[in-house]
Structure 1
Amino acid sequence: MAMIMEPTSMGADKVHINGLRFETVVGLDAWHRPGKSQPVELSVHLMPASTHGLEQAAQEDSVAYTIDYGKLYKQLQTLFSQKYDTVHQLYQAIRTILPPTRSWLINITLPKGILAAGKGLQLTWNGSIDGSNASVMQIMTVSDIDCRCIVGVNPHERLEKQRLQISITIWGLENRLSPSLLAGVSIDPSPTLIYQDMVQSVVEVSQTLNLDT
């Protein structure tokens, strides 16, 4: 885990909390079982709403002028003692405890959330506030989906299927997507599993796959 505070040219701080690791219940585990805890990795990057920066916090010897990342860490730690039906529900819980911010980036990774995906499921929310308007971009990545198929057209290449690892990423504005699309591993049939199965079925039924085209 690393906690970093840095001043920016805009006169505001950036606070980075990287590499938090917890065990908690988030939807189904890799074997589709509810109520089973699994590893969760979390990174949070924030730009506070306050115009005060690190310099004033240092002058006044008070974290009141910036984000108290120690307090924030303890609040995050408390959240992970609870259970969540979806990754999206966990994200919403994290958002409720964040201090006022101009922008935020929250990255939640379930490294063992999908059995056939070597690097699991990663969901990122990149949000910002401009006046009274807030926008959030959601990004979902299923990494290193294990597939096997014939690759190439030469006779020796067609004797045995080769192992491939394929990753897919989906982008979308939060208010323009169905909540279920980026819900992560949920009690209902999971979109991530649908995408995984779709990729595997398309690739593995291919009799000839030329990766150069």
Structure 2
Amino acid sequence: MAEQRVNVHIPSHPAVLDSVQLHKIQLPLPAAPDPWHRSGKPQPCTASLKLSYSSAIAAAAADDVSLSLDYGKLYRRLDHDIQHMGSHNGPDNRMISVHGTRRDEMSTKDLGQDVRVIGGIVAICALGLLDETAAGVRRMSHVHQSPRNSTSAGPQGQAQAMAAAYNTPSTNSPIDGDFGQCEVWLHLPKALLRAEEGLKYRSVTLWGYRQPDETTSDEAIDTGRCPVVLEEEFRIDGIRCYCILGVNSHERLEKQAVVVSLGFKGPGQLAWGSTIVDTYQEMTRTVAERVEGTSFQTVEALATFVARIVTVEFANERVTVKVEKPSALAFVERSGVEVTRSQAFFERQGMEDRSRG
């Protein structure tokens, strides 16, 4: 159930946008979705993140690490926050959608059972460190007092020249915390029994600001900033099934392996994400079992069959289905097709079928 809507402003990207990236962090979760439906079980998780901000011009020109964001500190803080995610308020009561709404059902689930909460912890940790770094850099007196802080020569002068070229503030504020965006990728490889590659999740979160008429003072404006989930994506890859599939005579004799993948993508913190989180275990099992009872001549027909199950029977608004045949071509690892279908597509198709009948 969505809470009351608020007016939120999404800032535009700055002229110079730099980023820090951590790739494939081994991040064991103290509790996460378990394929056997056991609560509180630790699970493996691989996380990656890209934290974008404005800007690292000064750090690059002056070759001064004190003007940059410490990605070692980011990793240590992230590891701590994940391991202690049950001992403090989670991100679910702060994250909002681009429409200014917030989902409250995430707070009712057991610790770690909603992958969106885990992604929110990662994003808020990164955005929080960006704020801390920007504030620390502003406080450093040596940024203004160092002999290197000369416009005539030296690295600091280079920094100011580079900033001027991009029409951006110079090293008076090398890292600006007003804009911050964090893209997060999570991979839970053992979250599903029937999907060899498990569950994958991606989110893009950035700082948003409540509209001025929502606040009455500078302090209120500052506290009115909130993390906005711009978009989310879920993937279930590697659902391996065996069925009759193909037009060639030899393909009609025996079942062959097919690999099905499901993809969901849309604006963040909306109801469609909760539908997936609540049903993906049962949905994956149903797809695997139903596919193994089919006999199609074309891969397109099988992909559409899967899309109908996912959208019509499990109430997902839209899905991208990929079906691949590992054994179809001797010197090709996999061949297949990808289709995107929606509930509306099958509703229209049903109406056309009824009108023809």
Is residue 2:72 matched to residue 1:70?
A: yes
Deviation at 1:202, TM superposition (A): 3.8
Instruction: Show CA shifts across 1:161-212 (max 9, x none).
Output: 11111111001212432552353xxxxxx42213312422442221224226
Between 79-88 and 11-20, the greater mean CA deviation after superposition: 79-88
Offset, 1:102: 2.8
The whole-number CA distance in structure 1 between the counterparts of 2:299 and 2:192 is 25
> Is the contact made by 2:242 and 2:255 (CA closer than 8 Å) also made in structure 1?
yes
1:15-71 deviation per Cα after TM superposition (whole angstroms, max 9, x unaligned): 1110101222343322222222121000010112xx3x33312527243x4422111
Deviations 1:88-119 (A, max 9, x none): 22122223322345322101110111111111
Q: Distance in 1 between matches of 2:24 and 2:81?
A: 16
Structure with the higher fraction of residues in strand conformation:
1
Q: Is the counterpart of residue 111 in structure 1 residue 111 in structure 2?
A: no
Confirm or deny that 1:168 pairs with 2:173: no
Identity among equivalent pairs (%): 26
Paired residue secondary structure (2:38): coil
CA distance in 1, matches of 2:74, 2:200: 22
Distance 1:176 1:81, change over 3 A: closer
- Alpha-carbon deviation of 1:139? 0.3
Q: Distance in 2 between matches of 1:66 and 1:139?
A: 30
Tell me the amino acid that sits aligned with residue 157 of structure 1. E
Question: What does the per-residue CA deviation read over 1:110-160, in whole Å, with 9 as the maximum and x for residues that have no partner?
Answer: 011111111111000023456658451110000011111101244432222
Answer with 1 or 2: which has the greater Rg: 2
Amino acid at match of 2:265: W
Give the aligned residue type for 1:200. A
Q: Is the 8 A contact 2:112 2:118 kept in 1?
A: yes
- Opposite residue 55 of structure 1, the aligned amino acid is I
Name which of 40, 63, 68 aligns with 1:35: 40
Q: For residue 196 of structure 2, give the secondary structure of its aligned residue in structure 1.
A: strand
Give, as a single letter, the amino acid of the residue that structure 2 aligns with 1:122. Answer: K
2:31/2:43 contact within 8 Å kept:
yes
Contact 1:102 1:130 in 2 (8 A): no
Equivalent residue number for residue 80 of structure 1: 82
For 1:127 and 1:77, locate their aligned partners in 2 and report how far apart those are by CA, in whole Å: 19
Q: After the TM superposition, which residues 176-195 of structure 1 pair with which residues of structure 2 at under 5 Å, given as runs?
A: 176-178=270-272, 180-183=274-277, 190-195=278-283
SS in 2 for 1:199: helix
| Structure 2 unmatched ranges of 5 or more | 1-13, 85-110, 132-178, 212-227, 302-357
Q: Any gaps of 5 or more consecutive residues in structure 1? A: 1-8, 184-189
**Within 5 A, what are the aligned runs for 1:20-169?**
20-48=25-53, 51=54, 53-58=55-60, 59=62, 61-63=64-66, 65-82=67-84, 84-99=112-127, 100=131, 101-129=179-207, 134-169=228-263
Compute the RMSD of aligned alpha carbons.
2.7
CA gap 1:88/1:135 in 2 versus in 1, 3 angstroms: closer
Secondary structure of the residue that 1:94 maps to in structure 2?
Answer: helix
Indicate how the Cα distance of structure 1 residues 195 and 66 shifts in structure 2: closer, same or farther if over 3 A, else same. farther
The answer to whether the Cα contact below 8 Å between 2:26 and 2:47 also exists between their aligned partners in 1 is: yes
Aligned-partner SS, 1:36: coil
The separation in 1 between residues aligned to 2:38 and 2:297, in whole angstroms, is 35
Contact kept? 2:24, 2:47, Cα under 8 Å:
yes
Structure 2 partner of 1:187: none
Query: 2:271 corresponds to which letter in structure 1?
Result: L
The one-letter code of the counterpart of 1:56 is: A
Q: Tell me the residue number matched to 1:13.
A: 18
Which residue number in structure 2 is paired with residue 211 of structure 1? Answer: 299
Give distance in 1, aligned partners of 2:244 and 2:191: 28
Q: Which has the higher contact order (CA 8 A, sep 6+)?
A: 1
For residues 212 and 179 of structure 1, the distance between their equivalents in structure 2, rounded to whole angstroms, comes to: 26
Whichever residue aligns with residue 298 of structure 2, its letter is N
Residue aligned with 1:127, SS:
strand
- Tell me by how many angstroms 1:74 deviates: 0.5
Q: Which residue in the other structure is 2:350 paired with?
A: none
